Chain A
Amino acid sequence: MNAEIAKIDAFAALKIRIKLYWPLIKSLQTGLLLITGVAGYISARCPVMTWQTFLGLVGSLFLAISGSTILNMVYDRDIDAKMRRTAHRPLPSGKIPVRDALIVGLSISFLGVGWAYLLSPVYALVVFAGLFIDVIVYTVWLKRRTAWSIVWGGISGGMPILAGRTLGIGHIDGIGILFTLAILLWIPTHILTFSMRYYEDYKRAGVPTFPSQYGYRTTRIIIALSSVAAALSIGLGAFAIGLSWGYLRLLSVLAVGIIGLAAISIFRPSEKVNFGLFKYASLFMLGSMVMMSLGTL
């Protein structure tokens, strides 16, 4: 009887712990990056696809992406505390001890890279590069020094799709680089939109951003152009992997939406249109990943 109660207590404690730690991994962002990794793997049209490899891909990427996100949160807890949007996060609000989060972040990062190494050393190298660029180059080194740090944030964001494709074909190829470029160009849409929307927050935290350095108009132009360029890169990549004309037609239609919204955000800017472009670009990215997967399966 006592053993049973202890078991239930342990289970409940674990549930509470997971609920507490879950916001640390930014589940939506992690989910989207994970989908790009899976799409990259499927795009390789791998002739031998076992569930063990697929599970390994999903598991290792999930752990590595989540690990790097937790380590970012640990390092950025001081600036998160100064920003209204992020002040409620578990670390700045003191819900989770910093030491515990650091241990969890490091552990699952090592687990992720280790699992990746067991699958393929080249794949593990790309996964590790993503983690290293995100945590060390972007967060620790550049984020507080220059607004251009987003380029490195973009490169690290492009690593999951490159990793997935590398695992599928066994080496890094031009198409993988093209897909990485697409994600790299899509990331500014995400980061710059937030840096405009939460301008005061970033200013208070002392983080250099494009709107604070180059103004809103330049930032909007960069968002618009990078969204269009991201759509073009995805389209080129989709063509290169031999996606059928039907999927290419639909991708073109969706790209017209990005071009239209980008043009409106430059010539008739408004908060609603800018945020709409950001949401549409995210939907476009998700949709193109789904199409690439369905079209090559």
Chain B
Amino acid sequence: MRKITVLDRILFLIIAIIAGSKIVNGMDQYSVLSTGFYTISFGVLVLASIMLILFGFELLTNRFVPIVTTLIPITLSLGLVHDYIPKMTFSYSVLLGLLYLISVWVRFKASEKTAALVLALVHGLSGMLLFVLPVVLVTRYGSPVQLLLVSLGGLIIGLEGVFLTLQKMGFLRMSLNTVFSRFPIMLLLATSAFVSGLHI
């Protein structure tokens, strides 16, 4: 297992500061509900970064961590839906909420593979929306181009998640250490993209 370095810790600290400053200063323009959604997503980023500083990369191998980190794409996509297609908020929330509850239940009751599969479904759905919705909004409805950064952030964090999952399942030749070695920079890029993309 790769030991966390000083540079990794500095990068995680920067991520926590960027996400934390978004929570403190960057949400005045949103409705109460969107603020709640974005607070959860950036809050998970803050907490994940601090926990990684304290516990190292070993934390990422904990089977319950994906349940918490899945909240990032879920709540980010919920915030986007509520901001841009508010009439879909209720149905999308119910769908994702149900799937999320099932994924938590499965994590405790079913095998590791089934749990991973259900979680991948929730992750995939919310991640896809996070990637596609800004593209549609910018190209079709003239939303600010800056919003594409949210898609970029979703792509980066999604790719890292895919690498991690494929590696765990044995489909990737890359070692876990290699995946971990670029994790801090990928997370930093994704966080910066989310914060800049939502700074509209």
- Enumerate chain A interface residues (CB-CB to B < 8 A): 244, 246-247, 249-250, 253-254, 256-257, 260, 272, 276, 279-280, 283, 291
Is B39 a contact partner of A253 (Cβ separation < 8 A)?
yes
A280 to B24, Cβ gap below 8 A? no
Chain B positions 31 through 59: 1 when the CB is less than 8 Å from some CB of chain A, otherwise 0 = 00001000100010011001100110000
Distance between Cα atoms of A260 and B43 in the complex (Å): 13
Residue in contact with A253 in the complex, picked from B25, B35, B43, B54, CB distance below 8 Å = B43
Give the complex CA separation of A257 and B44 in angstroms. 9
- Closest CB in chain A relative to B75 CB, distance in Å: 12
The contact of B39 among A244, A249, A291, by CB within 8 Å, is A249
Which residues in B have some Cβ–Cβ distance to A below 8 Å?
Answer: 20, 23-25, 27, 35, 39, 43, 46-47, 50-51, 54-55
Given contacts A246-B25, A249-B39, A250-B23, contact A279 B54 (CB under 8 A): yes
Give the shortest distance, in Å, between B144 (CB) and chain A (any CB): 23
The reply to whether A250 and B54 contact each other, CB–CB distance below 8 Å, is: no
Cross-interface CB contact of B43 among A244, A256, A283, cutoff 8 Å: A256
The 8 closest A-B pairs by CB, nearest first: A253-B43, A246-B24, A250-B23, A257-B47, A276-B54, A249-B39, A249-B23, A250-B24
* Nearest opposing residue in chain A for B36, CB measure: A249
CA distance A250 to B25 in the complex (A): 10
Q: Which residues of A contact B50 (CB under 8 A)?
A: 257, 280, 283
Chain A residues with CB under 8 Å of B39's CB are 249, 253
Q: Which of A244, A250, A279 contacts B46 (CB 8 A)?
A: A250
- Please indicate the chain B residues that have their CB under 8 angstroms from the CB of A244 in the complex: 24
Q: For the complex, what is the distance from the CA of A246 to the CA of B55, rounded to whole Å?
A: 27
Chain B hits for A283, CB < 8 A = 50, 54
> What's the Cα separation between A246 and B27 when bound, in Å?
8
Nearest opposing residue in chain B for A275, CB measure:
B54
Extra 14 A-B pairs, beta carbons < 8 Å, given A257-B51, A260-B47, A276-B55? A244-B24, A249-B23, A249-B27, A249-B35, A250-B46, A253-B23, A253-B43, A256-B47, A257-B47, A257-B50, A276-B54, A279-B54, A280-B50, A280-B51
